[in-house]
Amino acid sequence: MNSSRIMKLLGLIAGVAALNILILSPGLLGVEIGGESVLETASGITLLVMSLLVLLYGSYILLFKSPAAAPVKDIRTHEDYMAALNRYRNTKGLKKDISLALDQLERLEKKNSSLSDILGQRFNQTELSYRKFQSVIEEVRQLFYLNIRGILNKLGVFDPSEFSSFTSERKPTQLSSRLVQEKTALHNEYLAYVSGYLEANEEILLKLDKLLLEISLLDSTDYKDIENMPCMQEMDALIKQTKFYKQ
């Protein structure tokens, strides 16, 4: 549970406690349990029961109920992508793919941190070479997130429970075999797209590893030498190819 939910739960508990103290404290509103007035006692007991129900329901919502998934178009940050993928983490038939996608996101952050460190050691941030590296790395990162967005778009077509039903050995007996086969083929086609995006991102991570090695072995900081680095050329080609397909 994240810190936001913890704060909301603590706020709910504090609010319910404050309301009970206000109403049941002698000398404030005059409601007393076990006093001479049957109406006051009934009101006090009703308040306690309702308070308990509110706490139980609020705790369930905050502790166990998954938050509504944000639309893919509204996803912006690394954390947003992690949260969106986690919605499918325990879905039967998707566990391995989602686990790999989450692992790739974590590795991307680590590699980005390592690249920032080594670039800071080798170059001044005002140098043209430094800006060239950073520009290419950032564009490749955006390609990586674009692939994650593609995964989420494909998964968003189905409810998570539908993926589980497709992988179950028990198929709906009320459907014809032809319809079941067509639905299964469509499901498998979507999973093939997911696998393709994961493979593309694994390739991006491999290129970032190669870039780390090439930077660490770089003898010259001349801009022209950097442009001729094999990995930089590979990344430039990947970026240009992706832009071509997006047009």
Rg of the chain over CA atoms, in angstroms?
Answer: 28
Catalogue the long-range contacts made by 59-68 (C-beta closer than 8 Å, 24 or more residues apart): 59/9, 59/12, 62/1, 62/5, 62/8, 62/9, 62/12, 63/1, 63/5, 63/9
In this prediction the pTM is 0.67
As a whole number of angstroms, the distance between CA 20 and CA 12 comes to 12
- More confident call, 76 vs 39: 76
Model confidence band, residue 245 (pLDDT cutoffs 50, 70, 90): very low
Q: By CB neighbour count within 10 A (0-12 exposed, 13-18 middle, 19+ buried), where does 84 fall?
A: buried
Over residues 167-197, the pLDDT tens digits come to 655 555 566 778 778 877 888 888 899 999 9
Over residues 59-72, the pLDDT tens digits come to 777 666 555 556 77
Average pLDDT over residues 2-19: 78
Res 247 pLDDT > 60:
no
Res 96 pLDDT > 60:
yes
Res 153 pLDDT > 80:
yes
Res 144 pLDDT > 90:
yes
As a whole number of angstroms, the distance between CA 99 and CA 85 comes to 9
Sign of the CA dihedral with 151 first, then 154, 160, and 161 last: negative
Q: What's the confidence (pLDDT) of residue 195?
A: 93
Q: What's the confidence (pLDDT) of residue 30?
A: 61
Model confidence band, residue 28 (pLDDT cutoffs 50, 70, 90): low
Give the 3-state secondary structure of residue 140: helix
Res 206 pLDDT > 70:
yes
